[in-house]
Amino acid sequence: DVKVTQSSRYLVKRTGEKVFLECVQDMDHENMFWYRQDPGLGLRLIYFSYDVKMKEKGDIPEGYSVSREKKERFSLILESASTNQTSMYLCASSLAASGLRGQETQYFGPGTRLLVL
């Protein structure tokens, strides 16, 4: 059974702080993703990674960066947190190399609810 874990369920940070959100998957998946989930806006992709040290911008990368030093771990970094980054952050992983059908199912972590004051 695929397990995706996120380091915190709830976080409260102050404006301007540097924030690290960690995600770990235990199924040797190639791809990892960071989304934010907001009411009425659905899931929006921030960044994804298809291999160690590789990253691609998603739809809303501004104000965020990522790090993938090990295959199982994908970190989301808020360089200087702002109140408009208050959100639920979801991490996901999938097995697929690009174009391989049947392996694109994404498995999600429980989410981190971040409040920036």
Partner 1 sequence: AQRVTQPEKLLSVFKGAPVELKCNYSYSGSPELFWYVQYSRQRLQLLLRHISRESIKGFTADLNKGETSFHLKKPFAQEEDSAMYYCALYTGAGSYQLTFGKGTKLSVIP
Q: Point out which residues bind partner 1 (CB under 8 A).
A: 4, 31, 33, 40-43, 45, 48, 50, 56, 58, 90, 92, 94, 96, 98-102, 104-111
Which of 41, 40, 25, 29 has the alpha carbon at shortest distance from 91?
Answer: 25
Please say which residue, 81 or 112, places its beta carbon nearer to partner 1: 112
Q: Could you identify the residue written with the tokens 């980054």?
A: 85
DSSP 8-state assignment for residue 2: -
CB 72 within 8 A of CB 26: yes
Please tell me whether residue 19 adopts helix, strand or coil conformation.
strand
User: Minimum distance between the CB of residue 86 and partner 1, rounded to whole angstroms?
Assistant: 19
Please say which residue, 9 or 18, places its beta carbon nearer to partner 1: 9
Residues 81, 97: Cα–Cα separation, whole Å: 33
Please say which residue, 11 or 88, places its beta carbon nearer to partner 1: 88
User: The tokens of 16 are what?
Assistant: 């301007």
User: Minimum distance between the CB of residue 6 and partner 1, rounded to whole angstroms?
Assistant: 10
User: Minimum distance between the CB of residue 68 and partner 1, rounded to whole angstroms?
Assistant: 13
